Amino acid sequence: MTGTLFGLGIGPGDPELITLKALRLLRQADVVVYPAPLEGATRARDTVAAHLTTDQEEIPVRLSMRADEATKQRAYAAAAERIRDALDAGRDVAVLCEGDPFLYGSFTYIFIRLADGYPVEVVPGISSITAAPAVALAPPVTREDVFTVLPATLPVDALEAGLKQADSAAILKLGRHLTKMTKLLERLGLADHAIYVENATTPAQKVAQLSSVDEAAPYFSMILVRCTPERWR
């Protein structure tokens, strides 16, 4: 009997925003895998640290936030091989994922490599796209509004096209694309309707009008923007 691969959504950062199911499966796991920076604190591990036990094997997948796609693929291919060994030995493996595992989650890199050969269970998590509107007290959509999720890493013309088709948007993966996004939203006349949210639900949380943000954005930040603000009047 092989072990089971669990993809556990552990929420946006607040340790209380993890589901009871993810917590139960995390406690039962023999091996715990999580994304980690090259050095320093590990957000995913820190979120669930109170529930880890010393007899669980931990596999951090260490990557620079700025790693290119090839480097990411190599790191996750190597992690998948270690996970495969554990599963073959009959051990259950929990892969922690910030927010929800299937929403731009790094768990997908493991899933595509192992899902064909092993039992898999994915536990959805509270995603940053619902956490950020909650902490900003900014409901993104109502009635028949269209809500769009855009990665800020897209080229400007693709971002512009996406924003023009939406009533409301969450712009993820902001980081070093803050200036590009601010300029685009200004050009589209939407900057005054854009809210910046950083580290939602954590002690480092920051919520501000986009126009007041001038420093660099960290990795865990996004913009919420109403693209058809007249509908809210």
Ligand X SMILES: C[S@@+](CC[C@H](N)C(=O)[O-])C[C@H]1O[C@@H](n2cnc3c(N)ncnc32)[C@H](O)[C@@H]1O
The total of other beta-carbon atoms located within 10 Å of residue 55's CB is 6
Q: How many CB atoms lie within 10 A of CB 58?
A: 13
Nearer to ligand X, 3 or 9 (CB): 9
Would you say 84 or 113 has its CB closer to ligand X? 113
Q: Is 132 in the site for ligand X (CB under 6 A)?
A: yes
Convert residues 93-112 into a mask of x (bound to ligand X by CB under 6 A) and - (unbound): ----xxxx--xxx-------
Residue 150 found at the interface with ligand X (CB under 6 A)? no
- What residues from 63 to 92 belong to the interface with ligand X (CB under 6 A)? none
Q: Give me the least distance between CB of 200 and ligand X, in Å please.
A: 4
Shortest separation between residue 11's beta carbon and ligand X, angstroms: 8
**Is the backbone of residue 196 left (phi > 0), alpha (psi -120 to 50) or beta?**
beta
Report yes or no: 145 and 167 within 8 Å, Cβ to Cβ: yes
Q: If binding is defined by CB under 6 A, does position 128 make contact with ligand X?
A: yes
**Member of 166, 174, 181, 210 binding ligand X (CB under 6 A):** 174
- Compute the least distance from the CB of residue 177 to ligand X, in Å: 10
Q: Which two tokens stand for residue 66?
A: 């700025």
11-30 mask for ligand X (x: CB under 6 A)?
-xx-----------------
CA angle 217, 220, 222 (to 5 degrees): 70
By beta-carbon proximity to ligand X, the closer residue of 42 and 201 is 201
Interface ranges with ligand X (CB under 6 A)? 12-13, 97-100, 103-105, 127-128, 131-132, 172-174, 197, 199-201, 219-222
